[in-house]
Chains A and B, each alone.
Chain A
Amino acid sequence: MTKKQLALLLLFVSPLVPQTQAEIKHIEMRVEGMT
């Protein structure tokens, strides 16, 4: 694959990749009264 082909591939594939990862990555709760 030439550099030009690689550049074109990246150009067309990049919009399909989410721009950002999840901003809230994790939530942990401590709860009471759970049975």
Chain B
Amino acid sequence: MKQHLGRQSGVQNVEVSLRDGKVDVTPKEDGRIDPAQLLRATYDSGVSVAELDMTARGKIVKDASGNLALQAEPNQSFAIAPNELSKALEPLANSATQVTLRGQLYKKPDGKGNKKADASVTLKLLVLEIQKKE
């Protein structure tokens, strides 16, 4: 799996901890890494992903429907799931303020389901921590 993930575009380094079942992925400097692609690649290597957390930096934007999203260049956008922390981000919507967030982008649904279907779910960023505003 390590080699399989390491071949994905935008991946600088992959660290696998067999004991904890943890996989740490360090992106390349250009930040061109696609979490959905990583999720698919992990499933393709025969391993089930229980949870995917991400730390990312970008601007907060609000769409016409009032939904918040983290706009992370280059050309990546992650819809933000509403919670208590996301409320604190609302005043920053469509401003030039850059924020660094740690959030949960994917969590395996409870119960048994189709593994392939899991890999194709819409990813939403559940904010766990606001690390920096600048």
Contact = CB atoms under 8 A, between A and B. Distances in A.
Given A23-B76, A26-B55, A31 B100 contact: no
Q: How large is the interface on A (under 10, 10 to 19, 20 to 34, 35 or more residues)?
A: 10 to 19
Given A28-B23, A29-B23, A29-B49, 18 more contacts: A21-B57, A22-B29, A22-B30, A22-B33, A23-B31, A23-B56, A23-B72, A24-B72, A25-B57, A26-B24, A26-B25, A26-B26, A26-B55, A28-B22, A31-B1, A31-B48, A32-B49, A34-B21
A25 B100 CA distance: 9
Interface of B: 1, 16, 18, 20-31, 33, 35, 38, 42, 46-58, 72-74, 76, 100, 108
A30 to B, nearest CB: 4
A14 interface: no
A24 B75 CA distance: 12
B72 A31 contact: no
Residue among A21, A22, A25 having the largest count of chain B Cβ atoms under 10 Å: A22
A26 B54 CA distance: 6
Contact of B52 (A22, A29, A35): A29
Given A18-B30, A21-B31, A22-B30, A28 B1 contact: no
A18 to B, nearest CB: 6
Interface in A1-35: 18, 20-35
B35 A27 contact: yes
